[in-house]
Amino acid sequence: MKRTVVVTGATGRQGGVVARHLLQQGWHVRGVTRHPAGPAARLLARLGVELIEGDLNSRASLDRALQGAYGVFGVTDFWEHGFEAEVRQGKTLVDAAVDARVQHFVFNSVGGVDRTEGLAIAHFDSKRAIEAHLRRGGLAATVFRPVTFLENFVSRRIRKAVCVDGVFRFCIRPSTPFQMVAMHDVGAFVAKAFAEPGVYADRAMEIASVRVTMLEFVAALASALGRPVRYECLGPALQWVIAAYVQVTGTSGRYKVGPSLIAQFRWNNASPAGGWDADIEALRRLHPGLMTIREWMASVNWRAGL
């Protein structure tokens, strides 16, 4: 009988990628979702995921989902729920896993969490609190700390600006080396952690796929699109305007933006190396298929839906 890994947030971007990688590795995947009848859930079900209606706010639903499970993949969302709720959800999941005697817990945290205490980066502070609770729980655990997701740049709004206006806007200085990670690689590492617990258990790893400047990023983007693309760096003043907008409109969860992100960009830009500190060469030895920037660019349909 196949061993079961429970994937929280299975219908989200991170959980969905992880579920697919685990299926490819031959695991039985039990996906926890608040929307088991939605289109994303139906697609996962067709792929072979066992869907469980559940919520990180409901200990009873987590107890049902974790029954008989070998492993758990945990992901929590600061932007949708806020600091207090995210920490509470993460702790609830850890406690449920301890009581279910789960053998391996993999948690997706965030890069830099071990170097940014006291910098008012609330979406890092929440992950740090969950990591600490996980350590106290005594589970065999792997913590992955991904840097900025490349998939943050594939929203329709960003793709339209790139494809129609030929401009890519972000908040990092043009010549600062900056690490980013493809969700595909995150999924690959999570699957490796469950498959090779002797290598990954009781480790915390910052993970990235590439390290490029924004000028190098837009050059690769222009090459993929076959058209010129220029880079515009959004400074702190405009960042505050955007943060105020999402707070007034209640869309912080949708856009993943707020004052905490401004503090993060201040930290990123204050470092000559962009803040992140993943050892990409060591990661590539563990996962030779680590994506390059040009491979990732080619994997995106930049004009879809425009």
| Segment 191-213 mean pLDDT | 97
Nearest Cα neighbor of 293 from 111, 144, 148 is 148
Query: Mean pLDDT in the chain?
Result: 94
Interatomic CA distance for residues 219 and 146, integer angstroms: 24
State the pTM of this model.
0.94
> Among 242, 239, 278, 285, which residue's Cα sits nearest to residue 262?
239
Q: What is the CATH number of domain 4-149+181-208+277-291?
A: 3.40.50.720
* Spatial distance between the Cα atoms of 176 and 235, rounded to a whole number of angstroms: 14
- Per residue in 98-130, pLDDT tens? 999 999 999 999 999 999 999 999 999 999 999
Q: Which residues pair with 180 in a beta bridge?
A: 148, 210
Q: Are 101 and 70 in contact (CB under 8 A)?
A: no
Domain ranges (residues) in the chain: 4-149+181-208+277-291
pLDDT at 241: 80
240-283 confidence digits (pLDDT tens): 787 777 777 877 777 778 889 999 999 999 998 899 999 999 99
Please determine, for residue 293, whether its predicted confidence score (pLDDT) is greater than 80: yes
pLDDT in the model for residue 1:
65
pLDDT of residue 236: 85
- What's the confidence (pLDDT) of residue 134? 98
Average pLDDT, integer, range 59-80: 96
Q: Is 12's pLDDT higher than 70?
A: yes
Taking a C-beta distance cutoff of 8 angstroms, is the pair 276, 178 a contact? yes
CB 174 within 8 A of CB 231: yes
Taking residues 156-163, report their average pLDDT: 95
Mean pLDDT (whole number) for 138-147 = 97
Does residue 180 have a pLDDT over 80? yes
